[in-house]
């Protein structure tokens, strides 16, 4: 057999892009990401003081365990609730089923608190959207997408994100490398509301002991410290291309693309309800289109 293989070709993801922030690229085979694999084990902020202890009587969302395992657990419950329909979260049968799901993970003692937390979360109106998640009817949880990347310099991707998403604010640089193959990922939730389409990502990061720790400035700092701006850019591009493919000539991104919402689950009693809204910069999407395979360069699963 005389065939030749491009040994530089591989599968990349947001998690791989930020794994070595500001450092040396790690070696080894790149593994395809799984849903909700981007939760940090810790949330240190640049120059942060030691974290204050959470009060014993604090709400459940401040007392709940931290780390990647906890984040994946919360993502799993929210994915299930989206499949059931967020509007049904207060239904006693759904709440009972949710409590059983939680108990099966070894968190039986925490089940009542977590059920209350998620019900409260779904009833909380989100800034930027003007409605709670419980009012949304058209939901697509865990949209998987693939974006072709042919010799894409990560430095170019980084520069575009810094110029268009939370511009002028410091953030760690992505490690210099070249992407050649496919970029894939899972968007936690895609939904339609009042004729506009949105992508939403859940974050379980603990920024402090109470709602005051989730100020707009603290949320922006967390977004940039973990480079969630890059993640948002990829999610928005995938949604933009999907809408263009499905709606065709009827698609008007300036009117129909709502943007990216980042929902910090522990910040629902904070001043912005734990929400960061990133409007979709069309100049960024046009530039990413050119770098990542052109207008047809996306495949997304919708079921």
CATH number, domain at 163? 3.90.320.10
What pLDDT sits at residue 86?
A: 96
From 271, 278, 300, 262, select the one nearest 210 (Cα to Cα): 271
Mean pLDDT, residues 223-245 taken together: 96
For the annotated catalytic residues, the residue numbers are: 201
Q: How many CA atoms lie within 13 A of 124 on its CB side?
A: 22
Q: Pick the more confident residue, 213 or 55.
A: 213
247-269 pLDDT, tens per residue? 999 999 999 999 999 999 999 99
What pLDDT sits at residue 51?
A: 59
- For residue 157, is it within any domain? yes
Number of domains in the chain: 1
- For residue 242, is it within any domain? yes
Mean pLDDT, residues 86-105 taken together: 96
Mean pLDDT, residues 99-111 taken together: 96
Q: Pick the more confident residue, 158 or 26.
A: 158
What pLDDT sits at residue 28?
A: 38
User: Cα–Cα distance between 86 and 90 in angstroms, integer?
Assistant: 9
- For residue 182, is it within any domain? yes
- For residue 132, is it within any domain? no
Report the C-alpha dihedral over residues 239, 245, 197, 225, rounded to 10 degrees.
10
Residue 129 has φ and ψ, to the nearest 5°, of -110, -35
- For residue 57, is it within any domain? no
- For residue 210, is it within any domain? yes
How high is the mean pLDDT of the chain? 86
Structural domain of 277: 10-30+137-301
- For residue 71, is it within any domain? no
- For residue 233, is it within any domain? yes
Distances (CA, A) of 230 to 98, 160, 226, 241: 32, 9, 9, 17
- The reported pTM is 0.88
Mean pLDDT, residues 53-69 taken together: 85
């Amino acid at each position: 057999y005389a065939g030749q293989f491009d040994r530089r070709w591989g599968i990349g993801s947001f998690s791989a892009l930020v794994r070595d922030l500001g450092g040396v690229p790690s070696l080894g085979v790149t593994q395809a990401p799984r849903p909700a694999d981007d939760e940090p084990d810790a949330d240190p902020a640049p120059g942060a003081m030691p974290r204050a202890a959470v009060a014993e009587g604090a709400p459940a969302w401040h007392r709940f365990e931290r780390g990647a395992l906890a984040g994946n657990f919360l993502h799993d419950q929210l994915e299930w609730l989206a499949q059931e329909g967020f509007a049904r979260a207060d239904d006693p049968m759904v709440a009972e089923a949710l409590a059983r799901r939680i108990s099966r993970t070894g968190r039986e003692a925490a089940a009542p608190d977590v059920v209350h937390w998620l019900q409260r979360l779904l009833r909380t109106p989100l800034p930027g959207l003007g409605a709670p998640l419980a009012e949304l009817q058209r939901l697509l949880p865990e949209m998987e997408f693939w974006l072709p990347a042919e010799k894409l310099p990560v430095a170019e991707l980084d520069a575009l994100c810094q110029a268009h998403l939370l511009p002028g604010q410091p953030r760690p640089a992505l490690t210099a490398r070249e992407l050649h193959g496919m970029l894939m990922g899972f968007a936690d939730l895609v939904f339609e509301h009042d004729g506009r389409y949105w992508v939403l990502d859940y974050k379980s990061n603990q920024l402090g002991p109470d709602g005051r720790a989730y100020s707009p400035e603290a949320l922006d700092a967390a977004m940039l410290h973990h480079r969630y701006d890059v993640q948002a850019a990829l999610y928005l591009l995938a949604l933009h291309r999907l809408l263009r493919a499905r709606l065709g000539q009827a698609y008007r991104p300036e009117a129909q693309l709502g943007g990216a919402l980042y929902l910090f689950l522990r910040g629902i009693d904070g001043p912005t309800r734990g929400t960061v809204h990133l409007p979709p910069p069309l100049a960024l999407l046009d530039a990413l289109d050119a770098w990542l395979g052109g207008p047809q360069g996306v495949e997304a699963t919708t079921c």
